Amino acid sequence: MQVIQQLKQMSEDRFLHIYDTLSKDGFGPLDGEVAAALKFRPHTIKRLPMAKRAGRARLILQSDSNAELAYELFGAYLMNSCKPIITAFLDATDVKHEEGMIDDPATDRPDPTKVAAAVASLDEAHPPEDVTLYLSMCAEQWPDIEEVNAVWKMRS
């Protein structure tokens, strides 16, 4: 579970940034789950500071059974805030996509010989923590492509 490992290595401030970036109308992306865990009514969760809600959401996600939810949360963050990372990687590794969305990850796969150069290019143009987060998702999506896994493991 690469995204869970990435989450566990992430600082509280970094997770809060991601969580807060995805908030809408004062609600964090997992505030429903946080409210249920704390036995709050959903609308009263806004009374808690965002940092406290993000901290509880992080605990919920750290369970291996919630890797899919973590993947979705990080994917939403990357698509909303870091889409150029996604499209640049996919373009550089010859993956067919539509604005970062891949039709079939089983057949639309990165060219392993182009991964290292693609990552080097991303590192020159984007914050390394966002590139590493994206690579954790790539390693989760294409676990059998050793070049993707190796570059992510080297960074984590």
pLDDT of residue 65: 75
Clarify whether residues 103 and 140 are in a common domain. Answer: yes
Q: Quick one: what percent of the chain has pLDDT higher than 70?
A: 99
Instruction: Give yes or no: residues 53 and 87 share one domain.
Output: no
Residue 71 scores a pLDDT above 90: yes
97, 47: one domain: no
Same domain, 45 and 93: no
Its pTM surpasses 0.85:
yes
Find the domain containing 45 and state its range: 2-65
> Does residue 10 sit within a domain?
yes
pLDDT value, residue 64:
61
- Tell whether 75 is covered by a domain: no
Is 109 domain-assigned? yes
**What is the 3-state secondary structure of the chain?**
CHHHHHHHHCCHHHHHHHHHHCCECCECCCHHHHHHHHCCCHHHHHHCCHHHHHHHHHHHHCCHHHHHHHHHHHHHHHHHHCHHHHHHHHHHCCCCCECCECCCCCCCCCCHHHHHHHHHHHHHHCCHHHHHHHHHHHHHHCCCCHHHHHHHHHHC
Residues 8 and 61 in one domain: yes
- Mind listing the pLDDT tens digit for each residue in 56-67? 999 999 976 789
Q: What pLDDT shows up at residue 54?
A: 97
Same domain, 86 and 33: no
Q: HSE (CB half, 13 Å, CA atoms) of 65?
A: 1
Q: What is the pLDDT of residues 17-26, one digit of tens each?
A: 999 999 999 9
Please provide the average confidence, as pLDDT, over all residues in the chain.
95
Q: Residue 82: is its pLDDT beyond 90?
A: yes
Q: Does 132 lie in the same domain as 89?
A: yes
